Amino acid sequence: MTTIANASSGVIGQPMLRREDPKLLSGEARFTDDLKIPGALWIGLVRSPFANAKIISIDTQDAKASPGIVAVYVASDLQSEWAGPIPSAWQVTPDMKSPAHYPLASGKANYVGDPVAVVVGNSPTEVADAVALVDVSYEELPAVVDLEEALTDANVIHEELGTNKCYVWELNPNPQGIEDAFKSAAHVVKERYIQQRLIPAAMEPRSVAVVPSPMGGDYTLYSATQIPHILKVMTALTVGISESKIRVIAPSVGGGFGSKLDVYPEELLCLALARKHKVPVRWTEERTEGAQATIQGRGQVQHIELAADKDGKLLGVRADIIADMGGYQQLITAGVPLLGAFLYHGAYHTPTYAFKCTGVYTNKTPTDAYRGAGRPEATYAIERAMDSLAKTVGVDPAEIRRRNFIPTESFPYNSPAGLVFDSGNYGPNLDQALTAVGYDTLRADQEKRRAEGSTKHLGIGLSFFVEMCGLAPSRVLASLNYAAGGWESATVRILPTSKVQVVTGTAPHGQGHETVWAMIVADKLGISVDDIEVLHSDTSIAPHGMDTYGSRSLSVGGSAVHIATERVLEKAQKIAAHLLEASEDDLEYQGGIFSVKGSPDKTMPLAAIAFEAFTAHNLPDGLEPNLEATTTWDPPNFTFPFGSHIAVVEVDEETGKVELLRYMAVDDCGPRVNPLIVEGQIHGGLAQGIGQALYEEAVYDSAGNLLNATFADYLLPSAAELPTFELGNTVTPSPTNPLGVKGIGEAGAIASPPAVMNAIVDALSHIGPIQIEMPASPERVWKAIQAVRA
């Protein structure tokens, strides 16, 4: 077979500006709330102000009489609308316990924000006024807020489950081995960390609009979602409408970070009420609703133990975590901690490994995937514990990592948790970061400040991460009891006029697939990116897809695009050979033109072949008309990006304020199709990870009230809080996909929290062993210093 399909025309690797941006920046892009939908009714949710309360009665009379109100429904009014509960797609163990969960709570509300009634009216403002008029009588019950307390079952949230414990998931391939490792260890480190809850806070709030077809019978569901395909299946099953009657469109979507990887009550209500009222029904979230009733991220208590020999080489890693489900299961709530289950040994070889996770219900907003989903938690635990091990052994944090790195020659590496790490070359990556940041100079500066008695201490924090991306090999998902596959679909279609349509099953919401997928095709076909259009996020145009999350889109979806392009080119080559009366093997392809080797005048541009394929007047025998190929790519393995991140902080001992002076990230995500977009992803991820380390936390009081449900109180970092990021890269291709790519969407959020926290601990290490949790607020830092000094 020919080698033509493997040629590159140099588009891949160029830092092209995003084609999406002019529309987004000029306001021309249309988000769901921007859509003009004449005659639409709006809904508003009456939400529980109590975390745990029996619903005694709901009086809707005043709301119904309010101007512009069409209807007010409580759970019992709508029970016949549902063919099933709000879906949970990840039953992680056969005996996992899940409460019934419908769009409106009946009988009992289980978190502040739990919807108990829905108001339907002519405008969002009239609906907002009427929501305030719905009179709900509650009997307040004690709230279950703390995870460890929840596990005592002193107060059981869901009586029908009989316990707050959702599941116990355990991975312990060598129980005796790990016991022995800890018994024989020269050094043992035991740490407990808290992963605070985070509010995803995508720039665009959630929004949904359902429009019944004027011909009747089917529905177009517009949603600010990152999963139009999964949403179509799930709404069909839940609302009881044939999947073929639902078209889901995600218009421009302003970020998600996992929070739009879900099926929400409001989407189901709009669909059911559009069916019931036979008119369009829509809803857009308010910010405080977003804080309370869109899923939150993280929420774990982590115990990690390291066993090491006298030189600090790991003998065993043991993690035991409690994961906060919140009040209910959402789409993949239970499975999120398990995406980290295999990574608590990080980038380090350990002969023995064990992991255990206990999921627990609390009276708080449900948790689910948030940028990194399970992997930031794992990385945080191992990277902070490695610093503790370095201290215990008495070596530099960089040295303890070097001693334990999975050796380059071990790849593909069979991990003790049962994964195969595809490729890695960790040592040179770390060396590059240390050199670039000037590690030795920084250490000297640190010593100098200490010698001078400065009250502003310099800290250098290291984090080396490895994560698993490219969700996912479908068979592996099956082994984890996940209810879907991990493949991705792509169609590449060359139209008669030689314009190219790329149809993808990924669902970009800020990632830049319209640019990058076009680059992949342009690179292969040798044509301009301007001649390529990328179609996505409409289930009628792209019927098959698994959508966008888990840094999967390029390695899985981009690979599918790559393969479909190859197939189209192979077909074009057959037609070219036929028309040029040459053997396929004698053809060359460059710049969009086939030519016959040795006969430079015998050429045929792709455009001409596209037209020939369309007219089908003169095609080789047995070849179908048209230049189009569809493929579905199921990756054989995950990809394992890695990198070294170094944070440099200054800690003001008098006020506890931490200033992030510098941040160096040397990421290895394999070859970079568009380095500009890669850097953008790293910047965004770093901002969120640094946000977790220093600023962000969804704070609940003992009654289960979210105390910071506005942007005045929930501290998202802005550009003013962040230094100019210093980025470097190494390139270790993945052998698992044809592009060799690994994924970069979550890396920044995964690597940065431990880098920053290690830097703070390092800054104060001469004062004493600082115990501090995230976010490292000035008061926490100040109190941690007082505690050590006391």
Binding region for other proteins (CB under 8 A): 124-125, 128-129, 132, 286-288, 654-655, 657, 694-695, 699, 707-708, 710, 712-713, 715, 717-718, 720-721, 777-779, 782-783
The answer to whether residues 342 and 206 touch, using CB atoms and an 8 Å cutoff, is no
In the complex, the smallest distance separating the C-beta of residue 634 from other proteins, rounded to whole angstroms, is: 44
DSSP symbols for 237-279: HHHT--GGGEEEE--B----TTTTSS--HHHHHHHHHHHHHSS
Calpha distance 218→213 (Å, rounded): 5
Burial of 180 (0-12, 13-18, 19+ CB in 10 A): middle
In the complex, the smallest distance separating the C-beta of residue 655 from other proteins, rounded to whole angstroms, is: 6
The answer to whether residues 332 and 89 touch, using CB atoms and an 8 Å cutoff, is yes
In the complex, the smallest distance separating the C-beta of residue 117 from other proteins, rounded to whole angstroms, is: 18
Calpha distance 110→419 (Å, rounded): 37
The answer to whether residues 492 and 500 touch, using CB atoms and an 8 Å cutoff, is yes
Q: What residues contact residue 682 under an 8 Å CB cut-off, 6+ apart?
A: 665, 667, 725, 727, 744, 747, 748
In the complex, the smallest distance separating the C-beta of residue 284 from other proteins, rounded to whole angstroms, is: 11
In the complex, the smallest distance separating the C-beta of residue 40 from other proteins, rounded to whole angstroms, is: 17
Rg (CA), the chain: 28
CB nearer other proteins, residue 395 or residue 703 = 703
CB nearer other proteins, residue 123 or residue 410 = 123
CB nearer other proteins, residue 205 or residue 745 = 205
CB nearer other proteins, residue 486 or residue 656 = 656
> The tokens of 759 are what?
């830097």
Q: What residues contact residue 263 under an 8 Å CB cut-off, 6+ apart?
A: 86, 87, 230, 231, 234, 235, 238, 330, 331
Could you report how far apart the first and last alpha carbons of the chain are, in Å? 75
Calpha distance 749→15 (Å, rounded): 22
In the complex, the smallest distance separating the C-beta of residue 706 from other proteins, rounded to whole angstroms, is: 11
Calpha distance 383→755 (Å, rounded): 8
CB nearer other proteins, residue 291 or residue 525 = 291
| Distance of alpha carbon 537 from the chain centroid | 17
In the complex, the smallest distance separating the C-beta of residue 713 from other proteins, rounded to whole angstroms, is: 6
Q: What residues contact residue 578 under an 8 Å CB cut-off, 6+ apart?
A: 618, 619, 620, 623
CB nearer other proteins, residue 447 or residue 659 = 659
CB nearer other proteins, residue 450 or residue 657 = 657
CB nearer other proteins, residue 48 or residue 736 = 48
Residue 199: helix, strand or coil by DSSP?
A: coil
In the complex, the smallest distance separating the C-beta of residue 121 from other proteins, rounded to whole angstroms, is: 12
Q: What is the dihedral of CA 699, 705, 709, 713, to 10 degrees?
A: -50
CB nearer other proteins, residue 57 or residue 710 = 710
How many Cα atoms sit within 13 Å of 679 on the Cβ side?
Answer: 16
CB nearer other proteins, residue 490 or residue 694 = 694
Is the N-terminal amide bond of 412 cis, ω within 30° of 0?
A: yes
CB nearer other proteins, residue 444 or residue 707 = 707
Q: Residue 217, Cβ neighbours under 10 Å: how many?
A: 9
DSSP symbols for 99-114: ----SS--SEE-STT-
Tell the residue number behind the tokens 């899940």, with chain if given: 98
The answer to whether residues 653 and 517 touch, using CB atoms and an 8 Å cutoff, is no
Which element (helix H / strand E) includes 753? helix 747-763
CB nearer other proteins, residue 340 or residue 704 = 704
CB nearer other proteins, residue 135 or residue 654 = 654
Residue 571: helix, strand or coil by DSSP?
A: helix
Q: What is the dihedral of CA 443, 449, 451, 454, to 10 degrees?
A: -150
CB nearer other proteins, residue 311 or residue 779 = 779
The answer to whether residues 377 and 302 touch, using CB atoms and an 8 Å cutoff, is yes
Calpha distance 564→521 (Å, rounded): 9
H helices of 511-586, in order, are 513-525, 559-580
Calpha distance 106→580 (Å, rounded): 72
In the complex, the smallest distance separating the C-beta of residue 542 from other proteins, rounded to whole angstroms, is: 36
In the complex, the smallest distance separating the C-beta of residue 130 from other proteins, rounded to whole angstroms, is: 12
CB nearer other proteins, residue 349 or residue 783 = 783
DSSP symbols for 86-153: SP--B--STT-------SS--SEE-STT-EEEEEEESSHHHHHHHHTT-EEEEEE------HHHHTTT
In the complex, the smallest distance separating the C-beta of residue 710 from other proteins, rounded to whole angstroms, is: 7
In the complex, the smallest distance separating the C-beta of residue 778 from other proteins, rounded to whole angstroms, is: 7
CB nearer other proteins, residue 454 or residue 718 = 718
In the complex, the smallest distance separating the C-beta of residue 112 from other proteins, rounded to whole angstroms, is: 15
In the complex, the smallest distance separating the C-beta of residue 709 from other proteins, rounded to whole angstroms, is: 10
In the complex, the smallest distance separating the C-beta of residue 123 from other proteins, rounded to whole angstroms, is: 10
Cβ density class 68-101: b for 16+ within 10 Å, e for less:
ebbbbbbbeebeebbeebbbbbbbbeeebbbbeb
Q: Which residues pair with 644 in a beta bridge?
A: 464, 666
In the complex, the smallest distance separating the C-beta of residue 197 from other proteins, rounded to whole angstroms, is: 14
